[in-house]
Chain A
Amino acid sequence: GDSVTQMEGPVTLSEEAFLTINCTYTATGYPSLFWYVQYPGEGLQLLLKATKADDKGSNKGFEATYRKETTSFHLEKGSVQVSDSAVYFCALSDSIDDKIIFGKGTRLHILP
């Protein structure tokens, strides 16, 4: 079945560092891919999405490119801030099934 694998955390970086959180997927169809962010005590917020191969999703300085050849959707940001500290979830939606498959989440700590 479909699955999402993302790098385990926690990831700790200094402010203004470059961020990469890896995410790879397996899917039988042509999925859409998402990154969600969860701040402490809150629900998940959609950060960005990509619906087909080579699409780049971007929002708030974060980017991710849908790479079909490597089945990846890595999250990147050029200069992180303390306010980016949160848990990040990679997810996919396959039109064959009505469910969304989530990765286990990666906790990010940004040090001032």
Chain B
Amino acid sequence: DGGITQSPKYLFRKEGQNVTLSCEQNLNHDAMYWYRQDPGQGLRLIYYSQIVNDFQKGDIAEGYSVSREKKESFPLTVTSAQKNPTAFYLCASRSNTVSNQPQHFGDGTRLSIL
């Protein structure tokens, strides 16, 4: 079955530590996205990538970094510069060969501070 896999499901970060969240898709989608969701809040866009080796900042990119070396993979690094990283992180992908397609989401990674 095609889909998006996020790992791990739960992640804990110590102060001053960088952590990387994995996102892999086998849907052959060109575009991939990272969102942050805080309790009771909507989605905020962190970074997105429309093609391999290219990505753009979203609305809250500070303290985060990404890479897009392969079409299937779009890992997100939460750096020590992100002072309030506790949140639910969602990865999504989308086909951009046809306009206005819906996004497909992974099951999320919940990040907490130790």
A residues contacting B by CB (< 8 A) are: 31-32, 34, 36, 41-46, 49, 51, 89, 93-95, 98-100, 102-105, 107
Contact = CB atoms under 8 A, between A and B. Distances in A.
B82 interface: no
Contacts of A102: 42-43
Contact of B42 (A94, A99, A105): A105
A51 B106 CA distance: 23
Interface of B: 4, 6, 31, 33, 40-43, 45, 48, 50, 58, 90, 92, 94, 96, 99-108, 110
Nearest to B107: A43
14 contacts: A32-B101, A36-B105, A42-B107, A43-B4, A44-B105, A46-B102, A51-B100, A89-B43, A95-B100, A98-B96, A99-B45, A100-B103, A103-B42, A104-B41
